């Protein structure tokens, strides 16, 4: 069989063949140009192509670490992570009301999302202040005499010496005491002589004895000394003066032995250190959480690692105009006597500001200035921002007055990223609704 080419065709046939080939070439060229132009538009950030049957439409690409950063084309973030594609159907299902979002579990892990359960508990608040220790004014005594006399012998010779209640401090000679002793002995002898006398005479004699005893008692002569004096029946030239309470000798009159004393002269000053006072100040807005009996933890640098306990004994009725503070006085037990007046202390109160309150960590609250939000976790990557009403704060927690209940789970980290995602998807839903309405 012989081969034929276009020279074998008549002239009119060759012309038609050339026109057909030219048209095919132009069609192929147009298709290629269209494809190239669309590809160039996509690389340059052009619009996303419309959806085709069986394929979802990509609305945008989102930064995996910051939901507020988006891109119309695929790309990577600074850490080399691929942007996440957000499809139209997914956005509609994830935020039907513009509030909830669904995040892929791997993204949740990358965002380091942490969740904590809402609890009902007492909300405490720490109040920190400083102060210094001083003597308990109610446990300090000044020893004086109510009669003139002369100190003949002293048993406590230096300041700082501990004494016990009833311990002899010194002996004193007083002519008035000697005279009263003689009166008491005479009255007792008179009663014995009138034991067979009429009742009226005996009653007057017993009255003289009672008067002498009362006079010695008014001069702080103890019942034991009076009883010993009556049993012996002899007048003691000197009487022993005892310590009225246990404590430490803080003051002692100079040159006490052999000194003439007058009524009201301070001879000894004794302080009981079993209980000390701690003076502190708190600001006026903190006073509402403190009252008489409120407990406090006390730390001193002199005893590192140890904590002492004190309770509020007195609250000053006036606020300082200069510092806007209120002085408080605490009672601090000191059974072993290690604490000393003048020591500097750090004081921490932990009052209950709300009992049985709905409490969330303060880090879980997003504050916009106009409203307060928390992000609820519904599980399986679903989150929902919710507006809440807040109450008191303390110790890293915040009271929720409305918007939550015990058992809810709130996000305590990366919640601002979830809130940004929610706001973004809400804007998308509004955009989709606007386009559907048009």
Q: Is the pLDDT of residue 196 over 70?
A: yes
Regarding whether 188 and 289 lie in a shared domain, the answer is no
On whether residue 397 sits in a domain, the answer given is yes
Rounded percentage of the chain residues whose pLDDT exceeds 90: 21
CA 393 to CA 285: how far, in whole Å?
14
DSSP label of 84: E
Range with the largest mean pLDDT of 77-86, 125-134, 360-369: 125-134
Regarding whether 180 and 252 lie in a shared domain, the answer is yes
Regarding whether 245 and 150 lie in a shared domain, the answer is yes
Find the helix or strand (DSSP H, E) in which 193 lies.
Answer: helix 175-193
Q: Is the pLDDT of residue 402 over 50?
A: yes
When pLDDT is cut at 50, 70 and 90, the band that residue 103 belongs to is: low
Regarding whether 113 and 80 lie in a shared domain, the answer is no
Q: How many CB atoms lie within 10 A of CB 310?
A: 26
When pLDDT is cut at 50, 70 and 90, the band that residue 11 belongs to is: low
Instruction: Report pLDDT for 98.
Output: 40
Taking only the tens place, the pLDDT of each residue in 161-192 is 999 988 999 999 999 888 888 888 888 888 88
Number of domains observed in the structure of the chain: 5
CA-based angle 280:285:289, to the nearest 5?
75
Q: Which of 265, 299, 317 is the last residue of a domain?
A: 265
On whether residue 101 sits in a domain, the answer given is yes
Instruction: Report pLDDT for 33.
Output: 40
407 or 324: which carries more pLDDT confidence? 324
Regarding whether 345 and 312 lie in a shared domain, the answer is yes
> What SS3 string covers 277-309?
EEEEEEEHHHHHHCCCCCEEEEECCCCCCCCEE
Regarding whether 245 and 165 lie in a shared domain, the answer is yes
Contact (Cβ atoms closer than 8 angstroms) between residue 112 and residue 332: no
CA 294 to CA 382: how far, in whole Å?
45
Q: C-alpha distances in angstroms, 80 versus 65, 83, 89, 182?
A: 11, 9, 27, 110
Regarding whether 407 and 386 lie in a shared domain, the answer is yes
Mean pLDDT value across residues 128-133: 94
Regarding whether 99 and 88 lie in a shared domain, the answer is no
On whether residue 12 sits in a domain, the answer given is yes
pTM above 0.75, yes or no: no
When pLDDT is cut at 50, 70 and 90, the band that residue 38 belongs to is: very low
Regarding whether 257 and 187 lie in a shared domain, the answer is yes
Q: Is the pLDDT of residue 43 over 80?
A: no
Q: Is the pLDDT of residue 341 over 50?
A: yes
CA-based angle 205:208:212, to the nearest 5?
150
Q: Which of 235, 265, 295 is the last residue of a domain?
A: 265
On whether residue 50 sits in a domain, the answer given is no
Average of per-residue pLDDT values in the chain: 78
Tokens of 3: 């081969």
Regarding whether 291 and 395 lie in a shared domain, the answer is no
Regarding whether 411 and 343 lie in a shared domain, the answer is no
Q: Phi and psi of 301, rounded to 5°?
A: -65, -20
CA 150 to CA 258: how far, in whole Å?
6
When pLDDT is cut at 50, 70 and 90, the band that residue 89 belongs to is: low
On whether residue 156 sits in a domain, the answer given is yes
Of residues 247, 289, 286, the one with CA closest to residue 269: 247
On whether residue 364 sits in a domain, the answer given is yes
Instruction: Report pLDDT for 382.
Output: 76
Q: Is the pLDDT of residue 414 over 70?
A: no
Rounded percentage of the chain residues whose pLDDT exceeds 70: 75
On whether residue 49 sits in a domain, the answer given is no
On whether residue 51 sits in a domain, the answer given is no
Using a 10 angstrom Cβ sphere, with 0-12 exposed, 13-18 middle and 19 or more buried, the burial of residue 168 is middle
Task: Please give the residue range of the domain that contains residue 63.
Answer: 58-93
Tokens of 420: 């940004």
Mean pLDDT value across residues 372-382: 79
Using a 10 angstrom Cβ sphere, with 0-12 exposed, 13-18 middle and 19 or more buried, the burial of residue 398 is buried
Regarding whether 110 and 39 lie in a shared domain, the answer is no
Q: Is the pLDDT of residue 406 over 90?
A: no
């Amino acid at each position: 069989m012989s081969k034929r080419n276009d020279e074998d065709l008549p002239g009119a046939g060759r012309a038609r063949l050339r026109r057909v080939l030219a048209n095919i070439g132009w069609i192929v060229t147009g298709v290629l140009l269209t494809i190239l132009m669309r590809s160039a538009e996509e690389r340059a950030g052009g619009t996303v192509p419309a959806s085709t049957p069986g394929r979802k439409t990509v609305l945008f690409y989102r930064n995996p670490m910051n939901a507020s950063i988006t891109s119309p084309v695929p790309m990577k973030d600074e850490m080399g992570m691929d942007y996440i594609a957000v499809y139209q159907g997914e956005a509609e299902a994830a935020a039907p009301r513009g509030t909830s979002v669904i995040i892929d579990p791997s993204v949740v892990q990358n965002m380091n999302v942490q969740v904590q359960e809402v609890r009902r508990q007492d909300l405490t608040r720490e109040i920190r202040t400083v102060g210094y220790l001083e003597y308990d004014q109610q446990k300090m005594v000044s020893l004086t005499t109510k009669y003139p006399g002369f100190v003949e012998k002293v048993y406590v010779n230096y300041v700082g010496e501990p004494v016990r209640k009833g311990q002899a401090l010194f002996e004193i000679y007083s002519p008035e005491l000697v005279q009263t002793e003689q009166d008491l002995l005479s009255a007792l002898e008179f009663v014995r002589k009138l034991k067979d006398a009429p009742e009226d005479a005996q009653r007057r004699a017993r009255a003289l004895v009672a008067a002498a005893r009362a006079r010695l008692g008014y001069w702080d002569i103890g019942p034991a000394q009076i009883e010993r004096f009556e049993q012996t029946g002899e007048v003691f030239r000197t009487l022993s003066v005892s310590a009225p309470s246990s404590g430490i000798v803080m003051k002692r009159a100079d040159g006490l032995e052999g000194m003439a004393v007058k009524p009201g002269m301070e001879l000894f000053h004794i302080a009981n250190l079993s209980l000390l006072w701690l003076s502190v100040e708190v600001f006026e807005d903190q006073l509402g959480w403190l009252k008489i009996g409120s407990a406090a933890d006390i730390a001193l640098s002199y005893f590192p690692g140890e904590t002492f306990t004190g309770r509020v004994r007195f609250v000053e009725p006036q606020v300082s105009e200069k510092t806007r503070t209120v002085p408080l006085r605490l009672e601090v037990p000191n059974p072993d006597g290690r604490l000393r007046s003048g020591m500097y202390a750090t004081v921490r109160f932990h009052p209950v500001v709300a009992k049985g309150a709905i409490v969330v960590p303060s880090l879980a609250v997003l504050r916009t200035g106009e409203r307060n939000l928390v992000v609820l976790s519904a599980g399986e990557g679903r989150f929902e921002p919710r507006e809440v009403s807040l109450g008191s704060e303390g110790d890293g927690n915040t009271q929720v007055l409305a918007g939550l209940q015990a058992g809810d789970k709130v996000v305590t980290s990366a919640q601002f990223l979830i809130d940004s995602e929610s706001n973004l998807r809400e804007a998308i839903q509004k955009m989709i609704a606007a386009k559907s309405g048009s």
